Chain A
Amino acid sequence: QSALTQPRSVSGSPGQSVTISCTGTNSDVGDYEYVSWYQHHPGEAPKLIIYDVNKRPSGVPARFSGSKSANTASLTISGLQAQDDGDYYCSSYAGNYAWVFGGGTQLTVL
């Protein structure tokens, strides 16, 4: 399986919205409703923020939302806050009990 494609970096000012894309193929993102997103601050454990394309775990603010269209999934963060600064990774189930991840996107809150 090939890695999912994410933009290397995105940025936004506090209060704005940003969207991070995650492009796969019709064998992973396009074939399953099992896209998840993780927030990673250096030195900490990656944290699940979206699962099954658009579901939020308990405790994750509603500012974080997910969606999918064809082979591309998206993470939108609205009302940007300073603590949103960090790396974001997408993942998709790819069939045959295997998973594929993206290369990560660095979000800078200006």
Chain B
Amino acid sequence: QVQLQESGPRLVKPSQTLSLICNVSGFSISSGDYYWTWIRQPPGKALEWIGYSYYNGRSHYSPSLQSRAVISLDASGNQFSLKLTSVSPADTAVYYCARRYWGSWYFDPWGRGTLVTVSS
């Protein structure tokens, strides 16, 4: 059974870099055919797709975040990460990691999510 779990600092100061890791169990992220994705939900707002990375290093990001977001894969640790630079309180959100199969247009499974607050 594939499981994803997010981890990282719960509090980040404005202008700093938000760094999260998604640990994957039950499946090798380097096996190909899957896109490793980050999604977030600010309090009281809609879910927002952030972007994804493929096992070959190819990535794609939401136009609104592409200048600040980087998603990387760590095959040795079987995990992938999100780095979001120059954060502001607007980046306060629950951050989810998820998997998407190549050729599909949905996300399955997801992690439970982790709340990250941007505040001084």
Using a CB–CB cutoff of 8 Å, the interface residues on chain A facing chain B are 3-4, 32, 34, 36, 38, 43-48, 51-52, 57, 89, 91, 93, 97-104
Give which listed residue, B4, B47, B104, contacts A101 with CB less than 8 A.
B47
Residues of B within 8 A of A93 (CB): 105
Please report the C-alpha to C-alpha distance between residue A97 and residue B96 in the assembled complex, in whole angstroms: 18
> Could you tell me the distance in whole angstroms from the C-beta of B41 to the nearest C-beta in chain A?
8
User: Top 9 A-B pairs ranked by shortest CB distance?
Assistant: A101-B47, A3-B46, A34-B105, A36-B106, A103-B46, A48-B108, A51-B106, A99-B49, A45-B110
Give which listed residue, A3, A38, A98, contacts B63 with CB less than 8 A.
A98
Looking at chain B, what size class is its interface with the partner chain? 20 to 34
> Could you tell me the distance in whole angstroms from the C-beta of B51 to the nearest C-beta in chain A?
9
Please report the C-alpha to C-alpha distance between residue A46 and residue B4 in the assembled complex, in whole angstroms: 11
Please report the C-alpha to C-alpha distance between residue A48 and residue B45 in the assembled complex, in whole angstroms: 20
Evaluate contact between B111 and A4: CB separation under 8 angstroms.
Answer: no
